Amino acid sequence: MVENRLYGVIGQPVAHSLSPLMHNTAFAVTGFEAHFSAFAVTDLEAAVAGIRALGIAGVSVTLPHKTAVIKHLDWIDDEALAIGAVNTIVNRCGRLCGYNTDVSGAINALQSKIELSGRKVLILGAGGAARALVYGALKAGSSVAIGNRTADRGQALAEEFGACFLSRSEWDGFAPEILVNTTSLGMSPEVDKMPLPETFLTPEMVVMDIVYNPLRTRLLKAAKECGAQTIDGLTMFVGQGALQFELWTGKKAPFEVMRQTVLAELQRGERSSVGD
């Protein structure tokens, strides 16, 4: 009899997360006996101790813990170490190993729409997801600028990776071809927020928002209305999740099933929000 395995996502907040739905569906369709739960975590050190004590087999790490979790792990993959953020933990016989699947999920999503080499990319935010995007875009040959509400954090991130930090007044002069929002602005339930004025958007831009709930954030709606190409957070979310599934199980992820499961739930939520 195969031992049942426990997996989960740790972060704060996590009530909105569709990771449990996505991964539990993937476990079911592949016949992998496991269960995935969401854990709201404010005390990260205690949470990691709990992962060890309970023998939790694998964990997805979300904001605000992607950077801070590194010091609590036993081994870090080279790419995750270079990024300075971990979004995936694999428990290998009590040894907690950290990976970053955000970078592949995000860059694959962008490259499905536009070639990154030689492009000017403005990345909003300075958290764990921003680190993955900055690393990946630079590796792909882009010219990367960072915009962040807290200048000190944005400047520190730019200096660490060899990108540039721009104050809000400098964004127009940079004239980005690609804009990526890695902040939580626009995430459910605060769906009316966006990280910049609509007037900044142009039809020539490719605009990506890593927020996936709601699927159509206010930023993406405004970008589409002005004629820009848009990339929603679903592609990155499922992409990074599929890689997590493969690290945890050793099985090929049922990507399309995972995507359709999350998409159906998001569409159901959108219908409910307008009274359908």
pLDDT-based confidence at residue 16 (cuts at 50, 70, 90): confident
Q: Is residue 19 located within the same domain as residue 53?
A: yes
Q: Domain check: are 94 and 154 in the same one?
A: no
Both 68 and 180 in one domain: the answer is: no
Q: What is the mean pLDDT of residues 108-131?
A: 96
**pLDDT at site 181:** 97
Question: Given a cut of 50, is residue 250 above it in pLDDT?
Answer: yes
- Residues 249 and 147 placed together within one structural domain of the fold: no
Report the relative pairing of strands 58-61 and 88-92 from DSSP bridges: antiparallel
Q: Check: CB of residue 128 under 8 Å from CB of residue 66.
A: yes
| Residue 211 belongs to domain with CATH number | 3.40.50.720
Average pLDDT over residues 210-229: 95
Considering its fold, how many domains does the chain have in total? 2
pLDDT band at residue 3 under the 50/70/90 scheme:
low
Minimal CA–CA distance to 98: which of 119, 126, 69? Answer: 69
Do 142 and 261 fall into the same domain?
A: no
Residues 117 and 57 in one domain: no
Residue type, 223: A
Identify the domain containing residue 241 by its residue range: 5-100+237-273
What is the average pLDDT value for the chain, to the nearest integer? 94
249 and 211 both lie in a single domain:
no
For residue range 153-207, what is the model confidence (pLDDT) as tens digits? 999 999 999 999 999 999 999 999 999 999 999 988 889 999 999 999 999 999 9
Residues 129 and 172 in one domain: yes
Please determine, for residue 272, whether its predicted confidence score (pLDDT) is greater than 80: no
> Within 10 A of 114 (CB to CB), how many other CB atoms are there?
17
Asked if residue 65 lies in contact with residue 10, where contact means CB atoms within 8 angstroms, the answer is yes
Active site residue 139: no
Total-model pTM: 0.90
> Are the CB atoms for 135 and 103 separated by under 8 Å?
yes
pLDDT band at 276; cut points 50, 70, 90: very low
CA gap 60, 128 in Å, rounded? 13
Rg (CA), the chain: 18
Confidence band, pLDDT 50/70/90 cuts, at residue 271: low
The answer to whether residues 89 and 179 belong to one domain is no
What CATH number is associated with residue 34? Answer: 3.40.50.10860
Which member of 66, 71, 221, 224 is catalytic?
A: 66
* 110 shares a domain with 74: no
Which tens digits make up the pLDDT trace of 40-98? 999 999 999 999 999 999 999 998 999 999 999 999 999 999 999 999 999 999 999 99
Tell me the mean pLDDT in the region 144-156.
97
Q: Note whether 155 and 263 are same-domain residues.
A: no
Q: State whether 154 and 202 are in the same domain.
A: yes
